[in-house]
Structure 1
């Protein structure tokens, strides 16, 4: 019988028990906290397990043999046992700088103070050593009601860190929850504050939103509350694509460029990697081809040149009914290295010097083989070259 996610999650949580036990035995309080608790209650897969404790960073380091001070000034020590855990001292935040992050933290001895400073009720619960849920803010009830609610005064939470507004929409998409009305009104009130947040942080959250169960709902929330009007590229869009299924950031951006819904000059403002920009350009090209009812040869060259997963994503977005997977599986070769001849073979057979002709000759051979006009056979190709290649 296949084990449930809940059983697997419990096993995952139990890997943190030795850390909790050692801290508790030393006279400190310690709890599993945050997303691990939320996902456990939702019967979802657990990723990292974070621990919060009354122990100060120096005390944590003294209790464990292997530690890394990854954020000691903010109270966080990485503890390495069979797995790694981020252990953070109970804390409250100092004054926030430019609606992004606190200028300092204050260590406290009270778990409740630590939990009520967090962003949303569903992320502000803790588990003790006996797996008892500690919930001061109604997070468990909000999980049952499938609501995303800010902890305390929503306007204050978003004024502290404006990225939390994007995170609200991200959780709406990933969990398929609804944003609670007062929290949503606060997003409207504070939408312009997102301009203070580094675009890299925004893109990280937005990428996760697009990969959620209901990306359309998350994007609609960001659009209707006015947040998208303050994000580079999307602020220029005449309309926003609301995908019904998960989609990559690159394909999402490409669709807006393909439909000319936004200004492509704004892409630089997103500070994407060169690989992402290349993928976006490729996706735009793919969408243009798929949208014009391509013939068989064009589709064969398309699936030969570009990653099948990217083509499938673009096909889903533009609504093409081309069976690109079947076409890909029918290809005689999948890359140029599979050709039975290379540049050296052509030079030797034709007894000529290399030059610009070689690049074009190989491309012509490749296309002829992929489209089925030429068999991938050495003698056949060399004979074809004699008749078709101009030097």
Structure 2
């Protein structure tokens, strides 16, 4: 009985400490988010003192209400771009034609004039923007209700679309007519799936139906914009939900490079786009050459190729596979591929146990080998050094000069 009580006490203490940690993290996030919002108040103050309206808008408001971290604080105002530039000492005209000026004051803030959008002829961006003096009109042009709220100087929420209620219901709902929103900018459909993944929300039924109707419009969107959203989706809380939405809506059939994939990997944990692509190449559902159409960075292409190689080696399950992987490839890529392959090996432990970190750590070099064998350099030396390196990293050869030279004598016919 006493033993049972002790166990229960340990469990209760463990639960309490975990809850305390979560509470502490949440409080810390709330504090940092409020600090981020407060850093924008001097900009609001200066605009308001000059007789203009000014509010915090967009993702900062959403994340503040959800008690999530805030990366950037955007401001909307009745002041025209030229008036904003005249009012602040340090500004950068990052998009004046669209009403946006970056203000540098206690941080950097994008300050955009109240506006409504003109016609969208290409389903990507408005042909023009029209500056207005009404905050409500500005908010009603936005994509989703959870992104269409504003905060005034006193941190009171201004909400014309039911965004607060949708946050409580954990819903992604288009502002107004969903088909119109997606016809204006087709990328919004992928953004809906991205927010579903990142926030672990559900897409409202009419919004989802509009995505099914408008799915073909994705072909109008630049691949670079699509890639940015997919990267964020795959790194969200529930990537499987977002990817499932792209599948059931039919959007995946219109994505460049991804078009025609008959299987969609439903991830249960966040994963990079590079490893996701590598998995499909590994499974024969995509090709290495075609990925160039995605216009990724050279680093991304390198990661994809590495991940394909890792997946192939994990499948073969040869002796010393992990020793070789942790020596040749980044740990994060290995661990991501292990999840896909169902491999339970402790890659961190293998990495910490590495005998050498690079070829420069080997106790002898190519010149030493040539001198010892009295041979001129050539292709044989490259092969021998590679085999020597592999023997050391797999533990079959000690990294000591005498042991290595004995091994060289035994393999001198390479």
Instruction: Tell me the TM-score normalised to structure 1 length.
Output: 0.96
Are 1:203 and 2:227 matched, yes or no?
yes
In structure 2, the partner of 1:365 is: 388
In structure 2, the partner of 1:88 is: 112
Are 1:378 and 2:401 matched, yes or no?
yes
The structural deviation recorded for 1:4 is 2.7
Q: How many residues align?
A: 390
Q: Secondary structure of the equivalent of 1:237?
A: coil
Q: Secondary structure of the equivalent of 1:70?
A: strand
Q: Distance in 2 between matches of 1:65 and 1:343?
A: 62
In structure 2, the partner of 1:331 is: 354
In structure 1, the partner of 2:317 is: 293
Counterpart mapping for 1:22-41 below 5 A: 22-41=46-65
Q: Distance in 1 between matches of 2:372 and 2:96?
A: 68
- From 334, 337, 341, the equivalent of 1:311 is 334
Are 1:341 and 2:364 matched, yes or no?
yes
2:314, 2:321 within 8 Å by CA — same for their partners in 1? no
Alignment RMSD, CA only?
A: 1.5
In structure 2, the partner of 1:129 is: 153
In structure 1, the partner of 2:90 is: 66
In structure 1, the partner of 2:214 is: 190
Counterpart mapping for 1:249-260 below 5 A: 249-260=273-284
In structure 2, the partner of 1:143 is: 167
In structure 2, the partner of 1:354 is: 377
- From 29, 32, 44, the equivalent of 2:68 is 44
2:40, 2:106 within 8 Å by CA — same for their partners in 1? no
- From 160, 164, 171, the equivalent of 2:188 is 164
In structure 1, the partner of 2:4 is: none
The structural deviation recorded for 1:265 is 4.6
Q: Distance in 2 between matches of 1:349 and 1:53?
A: 77
1:238, 1:262 within 8 Å by CA — same for their partners in 2? no
2:194, 2:230 within 8 Å by CA — same for their partners in 1? yes
Q: Secondary structure of the equivalent of 2:102?
A: strand
Q: Distance in 2 between matches of 1:294 and 1:140?
A: 55
Q: Distance in 2 between matches of 1:333 and 1:60?
A: 58
Q: Distance in 1 between matches of 2:261 and 2:379?
A: 42
Q: Secondary structure of the equivalent of 1:291?
A: helix
In structure 2, the partner of 1:224 is: 248
Q: Secondary structure of the equivalent of 1:103?
A: coil
Q: Distance in 1 between matches of 2:267 and 2:118?
A: 39
2:373, 2:412 within 8 Å by CA — same for their partners in 1? no
Q: Distance in 1 between matches of 2:97 and 2:412?
A: 68
Provide structure 1 residue ranges, at least 5 long, that are not aligned to the other structure: none
1:236, 1:262 within 8 Å by CA — same for their partners in 2? no
Deviations 1:279-327 (A, max 9, x none): 11221121122123332x2321122111111111000012122333222
In structure 2, the partner of 1:279 is: 303
Provide structure 2 residue ranges, at least 5 long, that are not aligned to the other structure: 1-23
The structure-2 alpha-carbon separation of the partners of 1:81 and 1:389, relative to structure 1 and needing over 3 Å to count, comes to farther
The structural deviation recorded for 1:89 is 0.6
